[in-house]
Amino acid sequence: MSLLETIRGPRDLDALTDSQLAELSAEIREFLVREVSKTGGHLGPNLGVVELTVAIHAVFDSPRDAIVFDTGHQSYVHKLLTGRQDFSRLRQRGGLAGYPQRSESEHDIVESSHASSSLSWADGISRAFTMTGQDDRHVVAVVGDGALTGGMTWEALNNISDDNSRRLVIVVNDNGRSYAPTIGGMARFLNTVRTRRTYRNLHLSSRNLFSHLGAPARAFYRGVRGGLHGFLSRFTNNEALYSNLDIKYIGPVDGHDIPAMKEALEQAKHYGAPVIVHAITQKGRGYEPALHDVADQFHAVGQIDPETGEPVEVASRPSWTSVFADEIVHIADEDPRIVGITAAMLRPTGLHRFAEKYPARVFDVGIAEQHAVTSAAGLAFGGLHPVVALYATFINRAFDQVLMDVALHRAGVTFVLDRAGVTGPDGPSHHGMWDLAILQVVPNIRLAAPRDATRLREELREAVGIEDAPTVIRFSKGEAGTEFDAVRRTGDGVDVLREAAHKDVLIVTVGPMAGLGLQVAERLAAQGIGATVVDPRWVVPVPASIIEFAREHRILVSIEDGVRVGGIGTRIRQDLRSAGVDTAVTELGLPDEFLPHGSRAEILDLVDLTPQKIARDLIAQVLGSRIPVARPLPEDSGRTIEAPLDSEER
């Protein structure tokens, strides 16, 4: 039996020697490469925190001591050490989540995978422990150097430093990267600490000395090494960043040296006040393909060959992201006013190709969405047209800036929201399902949802041509999918994808839901129900022709992959009411719930967004209403309209 197989909880580490903990770490790396290569997931970050996580669980007593992971994508090792070693369905329906999840384990405290929030959580938890007399409980926050670029981290540090009576340990996992290399003044400061000759000399000499010492000498050396690091840090001014915050600083420490990490954490544990432990780690540690990947060191992978790191399956169609990546470069070639902004996600959002060709025109501001948006407003004021590329789930963090800094000032800023709608394996915090409902309340905003790659290129060009209001282009994750040409386009830009001679049902689809709408229409037609399918392209404001189409039909059904509460269907219903159109409206979309992880198809099936379920409900609605079908079936057709289904069959 391997050492890993003997670990059913963190206290099983207590029986292991430091050499056995090192052996366990090697087994964990082998496990991660073998298992994550089958399912996909955040491989590089977890390979980089193996020893760091082992040391934390060896020193602290989870769950009595609360361990909070910033973003949480580096929690796979934590899951293994807390008894979750079945990774066969990682990030798949019914399997382990890719982030901490309270329903999985009492050891998981914070589920959100949005960066820079861990210190605020830790501040609140530690205050609660102190106020309720639980002074023997510790809080450990594991935060990456990339997360230190987020303003929320510094808001939390400001408050943590105001009260030194709490047992709070902040472990800075410093690998010089978030997705790609971390940028900005913070990154430059940490890099000087990481590369300073005095630190490198001490680190190398301590490793060499430690390997030659006997057991008693090693024990003595562990006792003084933390002091040496502390002395050296003062001598070389490594504490300069934190000294004015009045927070104890320990480090830098080799995050892959278990005895060194344990010693540093023990010091921090017994200090009795907030402490920062600065650990230097290497993302992708121990896996050559990750180390050779300069771009993101296998931050997140799909299914790969564990030996080579090459993808097992090659996409047959270009991804939404790659279509945007190519088109924004073409647009930038033609218009020198176009500039790009992203928040530590240059490659994931597709701005990397723009940056490669025009490095002076693309700005990566770190994990700072609020700053990105307001900076974009300033760029627009200066005569440029900024394109802000974010994941849809992260635009939530900058809503106030979109509203008050961009929209209020009528700034021409284009927001490109990747991973919109149901994203799949990353779970509740990464489904981009709130953007349509949140953003459509912004005055004068214009929202576009392309249904395919051709429309993405087209609508992106239209968006950057608008200079007096914010524009939004949102698209899904993965392959761009099937192209659907329009039968015709109205004067205000609405694409008619299918036009029924007998106008019973109008299906209004949002973005990639066009294919679903067409399948529903075919099923309705098979039952003698005429269905027209339209794609507004620009869903906010609602085009006038949508109102006119609704006048001609008996029922309107909207289908979107955003939350239906306050969604596009709601907006259409309100506009119909204002125009005095009494067509019945059915709004289909995602429920106002936190949806689990799983494939996009599985999630859509879970929320009843499938052609079978939608068609059956519409047939029942047509038959159950007093609205007759426009064209009754001929008596000799041999076909009849299905009877309404009971709830169980439905």
What tokens were used for 627?
């609205």
Residue ranges of E strands in 132-205: 139-144, 168-174
Q: Indicate which residue of 369, 459, 560, 587 is catalytic.
A: 369
Residue 584, strand partner residues? 555
239 annotated as belonging to a binding site for a ligand: no
617 annotated as belonging to a binding site for a ligand: no
Give ∠ CA 350-607-612 in degrees, rounded to 5. Answer: 105
> How many angstroms separate the CA atoms of 385 and 466, rounded?
9
Is residue 269 annotated as part of the catalytic site, yes or no?
A: no
145 annotated as belonging to a binding site for a ligand: yes
Q: Which strands sit side by side in the sheet containing 338-342, from one edge to the other? A: 362-364, 338-342, 385-391, 414-418, 471-474, 446-448, 538-540
Q: Give the β-pairing of 446-448 and 538-540.
A: antiparallel
502 annotated as belonging to a binding site for a ligand: no
What are all long-range contacts of 209-218, with beta carbons under 8 Å and residues at least 24 apart?
A: 210/259, 218/259
Give the helix, strand, coil percentages of the chain, each rounded to 5.
45, 15, 40
Residue type, 624: G
Residue 508, strand partner residues? 534, 558
The upper half-sphere exposure of residue 545, i.e. CA atoms within 13 Å in the direction of its Cβ, equals 17
> How many angstroms separate the CA atoms of 594 and 235, rounded?
50
What tokens were used for 633?
């079936």
Around Cβ 620, how many Cβ atoms within 10 Å?
16
Is residue 551 annotated as part of the catalytic site, yes or no?
A: no
368 annotated as belonging to a binding site for a ligand: no
Q: Residues of 315-333 as b/e, b for ≥16 C-beta within 10 angstroms?
A: eeeebbbbbbbbbbbebbe
115 annotated as belonging to a binding site for a ligand: yes
Is residue 397 annotated as part of the catalytic site, yes or no?
A: yes
CB 115 within 8 A of CB 343: no
638 annotated as belonging to a binding site for a ligand: no
Q: Indicate which residue of 91, 167, 177, 283 is catalytic.
A: 283
Q: Residues of 534-546 as b/e, b for ≥16 C-beta within 10 angstroms?
A: bbbbbbbebbebb
Of the candidates 413, 393, 586, the one whose C-alpha atom is nearest the C-alpha of residue 476 is: 393
| Cis peptide bond upstream of 591, omega within 30 | no
391 annotated as belonging to a binding site for a ligand: no
51 annotated as belonging to a binding site for a ligand: no
Helices (H) and strands (E) in the chain, counts: 24, 18
Q: Indicate which residue of 262, 269, 397, 455 is catalytic.
A: 397
212 annotated as belonging to a binding site for a ligand: no
Q: Residues of 359-377 as b/e, b for ≥16 C-beta within 10 angstroms?
A: eebbbbbbbbbbbbbbbbb
Give ∠ CA 398-401-407 in degrees, rounded to 5. Answer: 125
Q: Residues of 381-399 as b/e, b for ≥16 C-beta within 10 angstroms?
A: eeebbbbbbbbbbbbbbbb
**Binding site: residue ranges?**
73, 113-115, 145-147, 175, 287, 369
Supply the residues annotated as catalytic: 283, 369, 397
**Binding site for thiamine diphosphate: residue ranges?**
73, 113-115, 146-147, 175, 287, 369
**Binding site for Mg(2+): residue ranges?**
145, 175
